[in-house]
Structure 1
Amino acid sequence: MENLLLEWLSIDGFLLFVIGILAAIIGVMFGAAGFVLLPALLLVGIPIHATVAVNKFATGVSSFSTVLVLVLKKKVQLKQMLPLMLLAGLGGISGAFFATRLSELTMNIVACIVLIAMFIFVLKNNKAGLVTDHQDNEQRDGEQRTNLLAPFFIGIYDGGFGPGSALLNITYFLKNQFNYVKAAEMTRFMMFASCMSAFLFYFFYGIVDWGIAIPVTVGSIVGSHIGLKIVPYLKGKWLQILLPSIFFLLIIQVVADLLF
């Protein structure tokens, strides 16, 4: 325990804390925490599966902290989210199971295919008004019934790898007629469910490094609350440019991992 404490209070621990803050801010605002967190952890030599496990723990705990705030302030109804969270949780643990049986190369190929598909989807739907500034809070019942499988498959992707998974959830809620602020808020519930279920699998599998997980997680909690404060000030026109741009950068990152 003493060694862990020294590790958390070291320069490396502070760096991990800052990385967690930046990743969470970007994650809440644009759904791309993995764009910062995964490359940063891989860069310091942490194996891919251990990196994913730390990412799931940090994102799961930080999401839970924002979920509590959103529920207490009655911005999102927990009853409304529970069925979707259950599907996301089942997907998360399924994704973690598959990830521990796949190579890093296979994981990157899957990530690349999913991100390219969603990049095309966002580009195609920008002209149709996927992102708006309207404060619509109700979801069309027909849309909800026909898209229940989406949270499960996004959860599988998130539990197994995850770059852009929050952005996939945001896109899912946007497609179901929510405004961007509401989509970002509801995504925190989904990320909590898929990340924590996946983390539990990784924990029992024995690949969690607490020396890395704790400072990143504390930073993520701070960053997630900062991100939620910034989200309401984002404009629809900005997001129409930023969302496909972030998808594109994520694709470049994954392709780079495949080639180099």
Structure 2
Amino acid sequence: MENLFIEWLSIDGLILFAIGILASIVGVMFGAAGFVLLPSLLLVGIPIHATVAINKFATGISSFSTVIVLTLKKRVQLKKMIPFMLIAAIGGISGAFLATRLAEHTMNIVACIVLIVMFFFLIKSKKKEVINEQPDIEKKTNLIAPFFISIYDGGLGTGSALLNITYFLKKQVSYVMAAEMTRFLMFASCTTAFLFYLFYGIVNWGVAVPVAVGSIVGSHIGLKIIPYLKGKWVEILLPIIFFLLIIQVISDLLF
């Protein structure tokens, strides 16, 4: 345990803490924490499955902290989110199970296909004027898409929050509310996926803890920034984030 404390307080630990902050800010605002976190951890030599496990731990912890805040402030009604969280939890652990049986190359191919399909869906769809801060999500949405997104999140997760945000946007939910509701789904899917990876024995606590602490800080910074994002910025930035994620996944496949 003493060695872990030394590792957490080292320069490497501070770098991981900073990576967690940046990844979580990007994750809350645009649903693309993996764009920062996964390549950063792979760059320092963490294996792909261990990287995914750390990502699930960090995102699950940071999502939980924002879920508490959003629930206490009554920004999102917990009762209405429970069915989504249950289905996301099942999807998350299912995805983790599948990931431990797939090679890294196969995982990247799946990620690439999903992101490309969603990218064209996003740029083809016309934006509808809605801004409903307390939508009746039971009538507007179903559980099928969140379930499959959660399977993907548990197995790899690159851009999974962005997929959830895009799904809610297409159901005529405001961007702020879509991002907030996504935190509930991410908490559920990431938590069950991480528990599976923990049981599987591929969690590196020396890396996971500083990244998670940074993610908690970053998630609250991201929530403060979201209300200042203008609609036109979102329309421009979301396709760009999607495109960058696709480039990242394709580069992982080719190099």
Question: Could you tell me the TM-score, scaled by structure 1's length?
Answer: 0.96
Q: Give distance in 1, aligned partners of 2:3 and 2:47.
A: 21
Per-residue CA deviations over 1:198-226 (Å, capped at 9, x if unaligned) read 00000000000000000000000000000
Equivalent position of 1:137 in the other structure: 134
Per-residue CA deviations over 1:89-119 (Å, capped at 9, x if unaligned) read 1000000000000000000000000000000
SS of structure 2 residue aligned to 1:248: helix
Amino acid at match of 2:127: G
**How far has the Cα of 1:19 moved from its partner?**
0.1
Out of 192, 198, 201, the position equivalent to 2:196 is 201
SS of structure 2 residue aligned to 1:22: helix
Equivalent position of 1:232 in the other structure: 227
Q: Give distance in 2, aligned partners of 1:10 and 1:239.
A: 37
SS of structure 2 residue aligned to 1:138: coil
Per-residue CA deviations over 1:135-156 (Å, capped at 9, x if unaligned) read 4421365432xx3111110000
Alignment check: 8 A CA contact 1:134 1:179 kept: yes
Deviating above 6 A after TM superposition, structure 1's stretches of 4 or more consecutive aligned residues are none
Q: Give distance in 2, aligned partners of 1:55 and 1:140.
A: 28
Q: Give distance in 2, aligned partners of 1:111 and 1:38.
A: 13
Structure 2 residue 220 is matched with structure 1 residue 222: no
Structure 2 residue 74 is matched with structure 1 residue 74: yes
Per-residue CA deviations over 1:19-54 (Å, capped at 9, x if unaligned) read 000000000000000000000000001000000000
Equivalent pairs, count: 255
Alignment check: 8 A CA contact 1:20 1:217 kept: yes
Equivalent position of 2:184 in the other structure: 189
Equivalent position of 2:165 in the other structure: 170
CA RMSD of aligned residues (A): 1.1
Equivalent position of 1:12 in the other structure: 12
Aligned pairs (5 A) from 1:44-59: 44-59=44-59
Structure 2 residue 239 is matched with structure 1 residue 241: no
Equivalent position of 1:212 in the other structure: 207
Equivalent position of 2:64 in the other structure: 64
Equivalent position of 1:254 in the other structure: 249
SS of structure 2 residue aligned to 1:256: helix
Amino acid at match of 1:113: I
Q: Give distance in 2, aligned partners of 1:228 and 1:142.
A: 26
Alignment check: 8 A CA contact 2:130 2:172 kept: no
Could you tell me which runs of 5 or more consecutive residues in structure 1 were left unpaired when the two chains were aligned.
Answer: none
Question: Could you tell me the TM-score, scaled by structure 2's length?
Answer: 0.98
Could you tell me which runs of 5 or more consecutive residues in structure 2 were left unpaired when the two chains were aligned.
Answer: none
Amino acid at match of 2:192: S
